[in-house]
Amino acid sequence: MRFHFKTSYDHDIRLFPDWWTFFVYGALLLVMVALPFLMDSFFLSEVTNVLIWAVAGLGLMLLTGTTGQVSLGHSAFMALGCYTCALLMNAGMSFIPAFILSGVITGLVGALIAVPVLRLHGVYLAIATLALAIITADIIVILRPWTGGVNGMFAPEIFIFGAEINRWVNPEYWYYMTLAIVVIITLIYVNLLRSPLGRAFAAVRDSEVSAQAMGIDVARTKTIAFGLSCGITGLGGALMGFFAGAFNNETFTFLLAIQLLMMIVVGGMGFIHGAFLGAIVIAFLPQGLSIVTDNVRFLNIPGLEFGVFGAVLIFFIVFEPMGLYGRWLKVRTWFELFPFARRDMFRRQKSYLKTERVR
Amino acid sequence: MSLLELKNVTLKFGGVTAVNDLTMSVEEGQVFALVGPNGAGKSTVFNMISRFYTPVTGSITFDGHDLLQRKADRVPQLGIARTFQNIELFERATVLQNLLVGRHRHRRTTLLEEMFFVGRSWNEERAHRHAVEEVIEFLDLQAYRDKYIMGLPYGVRKVVELARALSSKPRLLLLDEPASGLSVEETQDMRWWIDDIRRQMGITVLMVEHDMGLVGKVSDRVLALDGGKKLAEGTAAEVQKDPKVIEAYLGTGAISKTASAGGERV
Ligand SMILES: Nc1ncnc2c1ncn2[C@@H]1O[C@H](COP(=O)(O)OP(=O)(O)OP(=O)(O)O)[C@@H](O)[C@H]1O
Ligand SMILES: [Mg+2]
């Protein structure tokens, strides 16, 4: 069991509360940096893929996990991020500014859309955002002069400080670029969580009434969360499209948005770690499945992948609502407290009836 | 001028008049208690002050500011903090984080500063922690500091809610039944805390409480409500002696009261 001896407030504010955590995350980062020397390019691109999913997932996690607003429409913002970045680069901008700007633009558009959409709650919000995802494909086709419509468009070549970043020529560059982006976004996420805004997000998620009574403008906070979330997911979309090399109206379908949601549920709602664990599952599940279907003839059914995705999602919602990371926390607590862990330690107290009345 | 003033305030829920032509004023430095049987409209008064409900007529002012001109989330800015009758904490956050949300009205950092944790972020966060840590010390919450609300017992939650309200360093504190559901010792603690909140911190307290023992000990002024109407006002002893109050509590004439509240029904 680890004890935290806190000697100043800074312990709680710091990125790493103690040396142990610093060491663990430092070691993880070192391993990640060393990965290209340990793996062949096939696996490296698989890991790159995981990181790209993680970027998109972090975006949705901020909205759904941290702020408590569900979205089934985030594929729309992945598309927006991707096309914006490509169009800006075709207009002559270089990758880094185009990439950043595409995140900002997607975020702003997201915030704009959020104003009407976030007035809805629960299932209505889900349906409204789902509609957003579904019309995206049509919008891409309608905007054919810019997007290439059904024929799609090729991702422009990426140059950073004169070096070409090409997945087929130098996959390790692609990997490092993605890793850097993931680290920066994760840091932003963590910074928000240790600041007033991040706490306001969680407050809105847990009790809107109480958040208001603490001086939080609920509508504004949700809008900012939606904007930030869309911006980050847009960056994920840009990476995904550029990594694929080409994209069209069928690249960012609503199925992608649902996969994204499944990813954060499986990983662990509300935890940054959850986005990464979920990304690993999402990225490797198809691989795992294809190995199975290659060997077991009768399982070779088209559409099996989405069936399995759905089954996994239902399994987690019913049996492991806190996701993989939640499971890990429980296991860790069990060992830390051994033999004093109680069975109902993580059970939510149901004695408080949530009512709409504020009395 | 009084700190908080309600003038001829009326609020209706459909056919039910929850608060009926209520006038009351709370002076700076007072502990003011609202009492009355269930459904008297006490919480509704609180919810109007914190602007969850808007009265049909009347005015509410705090320190000269017209509260009715403000949205609910702009009320805390003036220095009004509250607790809820059915505890409303942020369940999936720790005690510390809950109290820090109480500091929200003092937020001065911008989105960009917070995203990159630069500029004023460090110093602001330190200041927030400092303020919160004082409250933790005052209410003896050290043992629960890093615990999630989810697993905390009822009594502790009650104290955490008080702590969250205090963290905002309010001028006026609204406590909706601070002692309900607490044990005898916990109620004792609550009594001393309310005393200290008024004496040491100089915070004005407006509270709803059924426990007349507690009300008698801590409050300077008591107002009894029934059916949304003021029955009596004065010191605790005066109010408790008032025949109308005794009648309301003992329920004599309860039938005729329901009839008049229900309007046409006899
Ligand atoms: N949101 C609402 N919608 C409809 N009626 C309401 C609402 N809130 C309160 N009421 C009604 O208004 C009246 C006053 O309720 P209020 O909650 O203010 O009572 P209270 O004095 O706080 O009672 P208690 O001691 O039970 O907390 C009651 O008749 C109640 O049923
Ligand atoms: Mg009440």
Q: Is A271 part of a structural domain of the chain?
A: no
CATH number belonging to domain B1-79+173-266? 3.40.50.300
The CB-side HSE value for A153 (13 A sphere, CA atoms) comes to: 24
Shortest Cα–Cα distance, A162 to chain B (Å): 27
- DSSP at B94: B
Asked whether B91 and A349 are in contact (CB, 8 A), the reply is no
Give the pLDDT score at A355: 39
Here the tokens at position B84 are 């809820």
Chain-chain contact of A206 with B92 (C-beta, under 8 angstroms): yes
Q: Hey, where are the domains in chain B?
A: 1-79+173-266, 88-169
Per-residue pLDDT reduced to its tens digit, B111-127: 999 999 999 999 999 99
Q: Which of B52, B90, B116 sits opposite A206 (nearest CB)?
A: B90
Measured CA to CA, the distance from residue B67 to residue B45 in angstroms comes to 13
Which residue from B12, B19, B44, B52 has its CB within 8 A of the most atoms of ligand 1, so it is best to mutate?
B44
Per the structure, the count of domains in chain A is: 1
Which residues of chain A lie closer than 8 angstroms to B34, CB-CB? none
Nearest atom in ligand 1 to B46's CA? 18
Model confidence at B255, pLDDT cuts 50, 70, 90, reads very low
Per-residue tens of pLDDT for chain A, all 359 residues: 455 556 677 777 888 888 888 999 999 999 999 999 998 999 999 999 999 999 999 999 999 999 999 999 999 999 999 999 999 999 999 999 999 999 999 999 999 999 999 888 888 998 999 999 999 999 999 999 999 989 999 999 999 998 999 999 999 999 999 999 999 999 999 999 999 999 999 999 999 999 999 999 999 999 999 999 999 999 999 999 999 999 999 999 998 999 999 999 999 999 999 999 999 999 988 888 888 888 877 777 777 877 888 888 888 888 888 888 888 888 887 777 766 666 555 554 443 333 334 43
Q: What number is the average pLDDT over the span B86-108?
A: 96
- Helix (H), strand (E) at residue A256: helix A254-267
Residues whose beta carbon lies within 6 Å of some atom of ligand 1: A 357, 359; B 13, 16, 18, 36, 38-44, 85
Chain-chain contact of B86 with A213 (C-beta, under 8 angstroms): no
Per-residue pLDDT reduced to its tens digit, B51-72: 999 999 999 999 999 999 999 9
* ipTM higher than the 0.95 cut: no
Per-residue pLDDT reduced to its tens digit, B131-148: 999 999 999 999 999 999
Give the pLDDT score at A339: 64
Here the tokens at position A61 are 């996690």
Q: Which long-range contacts (CB under 8 A, 24 or more apart) does A84-88 make?
A: A84/A234, A84/A238, A85/A238, A85/A241, A85/A242, A86/A153, A86/A155, A86/A156, A86/A238, A86/A241, A86/A242, A87/A146
Q: List C-alpha distances in Å: A205 to A195, A211, A301, A332.
A: 16, 9, 40, 26
Chain-chain contact of A196 with B154 (C-beta, under 8 angstroms): no
Asked whether B232 and B245 are in contact (CB, 8 A), the reply is yes
For chain A, strand residue ranges (E) read 153-154, 158-160, 163-165, 246-247
Residue of A nearest to B41 (CA): A359
Give the pLDDT score at A7: 64
Shortest Cα–Cα distance, A240 to chain B (Å): 24
Residue of A nearest to B168 (CA): A214
**Which DSSP string corresponds to B152-212?**
--HHHHHHHHHHHHHHT--SEEEEESTTTT--HHHHHHHHHHHHHHHHTT--EEEEE-S-H
Measured CA to CA, the distance from residue B149 to residue B92 in angstroms comes to 7
Measured CA to CA, the distance from residue A304 to residue B85 in angstroms comes to 51
Residues whose CB falls within 8 Å of the CB of residue B120, separated by 6 or more in sequence, listed in order: B108, B109, B113
Q: Is A234 part of a structural domain of the chain?
A: yes
Per-residue pLDDT reduced to its tens digit, B14-57: 989 999 999 999 999 999 999 999 999 999 999 999 999 999 99
Q: Which one of the ligands is nearest to B262 CA?
A: 1
Which residues of chain B lie closer than 8 angstroms to A353, CB-CB? 86
- What's the gap in Å between A243 CA and the centre of ligand 2? 58
- What's the gap in Å between B44 CA and the centre of ligand 2? 7
- What's the gap in Å between A292 CA and the centre of ligand 1? 60
Shortest Cα–Cα distance, B77 to chain A (Å): 7
Nearest atom in ligand 1 to B45's CA? 18
Shortest Cα–Cα distance, A66 to chain B (Å): 10
Q: Which of B52, B96, B111 sits opposite A12 (nearest CB)?
A: B96
Which residue type, as a one-letter code, is found at position A52?
Answer: I
Chain-chain contact of B97 with A199 (C-beta, under 8 angstroms): yes
Here the tokens at position A1 are 């069991």
Nearest atom in ligand 1 to B225's CA? 21
Asked whether B111 and A181 are in contact (CB, 8 A), the reply is no
Measured CA to CA, the distance from residue B15 to residue A212 in angstroms comes to 27
Asked whether A118 and A222 are in contact (CB, 8 A), the reply is yes
Give the pLDDT score at B251: 65
Measured CA to CA, the distance from residue A65 to residue A4 in angstroms comes to 27
Q: List C-alpha distances in Å: B76 to A215, B12, B256.
A: 5, 25, 40
Interstrand relation of B221-226 and B31-35 (parallel, antiparallel or unpaired): parallel
Helices (H) and strands (E) in chain A, counts: 15, 4
Shortest Cα–Cα distance, B143 to chain A (Å): 13
Q: Which one of the ligands is nearest to B38 CA?
A: 1
Which residue type, as a one-letter code, is found at position A240?
Answer: M
| Domain that includes residue A44, residue range | 18-253
User: Is the omega angle on the peptide bond into residue A339 within 30 degrees of 0, that is, cis?
Assistant: yes
Q: Which of B74, B87, B104 to probe by mutation at the A interface, max A CB count within 10 Å?
A: B104
Asked whether A66 and A202 are in contact (CB, 8 A), the reply is yes
Which residue type, as a one-letter code, is found at position A193?
Answer: L
Angle, in degrees to the nearest 10, between helices A122-142 and A74-90? 30
- Within 10 Å of residue A164's Cβ, how many Cβ atoms? 11
- Closest C-alpha among B158, B90, B132, B72 to residue A203: B90
Here the tokens at position A296 are 């077991």
Residue of B nearest to A348 (CA): B150
Model confidence at B260, pLDDT cuts 50, 70, 90, reads very low
Asked whether A197 and B128 are in contact (CB, 8 A), the reply is no
Q: Which of A9, A198, A210 sits opposite B133 (nearest CB)?
A: A9
Here the tokens at position A84 are 């914006």
- Closest C-alpha among A230, A251, A254, A255 to residue A240: A251
**Stated pTM of the model:** 0.91
Which residues of chain B lie closer than 8 angstroms to A203, CB-CB? 90, 93, 101, 104
Torsional sign, CA A51, A332, A324, A322? negative
Q: Is A292 part of a structural domain of the chain?
A: no
Q: Is A280 part of a structural domain of the chain?
A: no
- What's the gap in Å between B85 CA and the centre of ligand 2? 6
Q: Is A182 part of a structural domain of the chain?
A: yes
- Spatial strand order of the sheet with B65-66 comes to B16-26, B4-13, B57-62, B65-66
